[in-house]
Amino acid sequence: MKQYANLLKYASTGVMAAIAIGVTVMFFSPRHYEAPPREKLQFVCLAWQEDALVAYKSIVARWNVLHPESQVEYVQATWSSIHDYLITGFETGDVPDVFHYESSAIIDFAVRGYLEDLSPLVSADLRSDIRSAAWASVRRSNGELSGVPVLMESLVTLYNKDLFERAGIVPPDTLHPWTWNDFREAARRLTKDLNGDGTIDQYGAGMGLRNCANVVLNLTISFNGSYFRKEDNSYIVRTGDDEKRLLSLIMDMMYTDRSMTTAGLGQSGPGMIPGFINGKFAMLAGIGAWSRQQLMQNAPPNFHWGVLPALKARTQNIGTSTQTVSIPKASKRKKEAMAFIEFMTSKENMGAIASSDWMVPARTSCLGMPRFRTSADGWDIVSQSASFLTVGDWVGAPGYIEWKARVANPMLQELFAHRMTVDEALRRIEQESNLVLARYKLRDQQW
- Give the DSSP per-residue string, 223-267: GT--SEEEETTEEEE---HHHHHHHHHHHHHHHTS--B-GGGGG-
pTM exceeding the 0.85 threshold for the entire prediction: yes
Identify which of 340, 337, 312, 315 has the alpha carbon closest to the alpha carbon of residue 327.
337
Distances from the Cα of 167 to the Cα of 99, 116, 191, 281, 327, angstroms: 48, 55, 10, 13, 53
Residue 20, judged by CB atoms within 10 A of its CB (0-12, 13-18, 19+), counts as exposed
8-state DSSP, 173? B
CATH architecture for the domain at 41-153+321-379: 3-Layer(aba) Sandwich (3.40)
Contact 177, 310 (CB under 8 A): yes
Q: For position 32, what pLDDT does the model report?
A: 44
Higher pLDDT, 6 or 309: 309
The predicted structure's pLDDT at residue 406: 95
The pLDDT assigned to 10 comes to 40
Cα–Cα distance measured from residue 51 to residue 177, given in angstroms and rounded to the nearest whole number: 32
Handedness of CA 391, 395, 401, 406 (dihedral sign): negative
CATH number of 155-319+398-442: 3.40.190.10
Residues ≥6 apart with Cβ < 8 Å to 340: 41, 43, 63, 70, 72, 97, 98
Residue, of 356 and 14, whose pLDDT is higher: 356
Least confident of 243-247, 369-373, 391-395, 410-414: 391-395
Residues 6+ away with beta carbon under 8 Å from 375? 381
Give the pLDDT band (50/70/90) at residue 234.
confident
User: What is the overall mean pLDDT for the chain?
Assistant: 91
4 CB burial (10 A radius; 0-12, 13-18, 19+): exposed
| Residue ranges of the chain that CATH labels 3.40.190.10 | 41-153+321-379, 155-319+398-442
Averaged pLDDT for residues 161-176: 97
Whether the predicted pLDDT of 171 surpasses 70: yes
| Other CB atoms within 10 Å distance of the CB of residue 391 | 22
Q: Which of 23-27, 131-135, 136-140, 369-373 has the lowest mean pLDDT?
A: 23-27
Question: Which tens digits make up the pLDDT trace of 183-232?
Answer: 999 999 999 999 999 999 999 999 999 999 999 999 999 999 999 998 88
* Cβ burial, residue 286 (10 Å; 0-12/13-18/19+): buried
Strands 234-237, 228-231: parallel, antiparallel or unpaired by DSSP? Answer: antiparallel
Show the beta-strand stretches assigned E in 133-220: 148-152, 155-160, 203-207
Beta bridge partners of 73: 42
Mean pLDDT of 373-401: 93
Rounded percentage of the chain residues whose pLDDT exceeds 90: 84
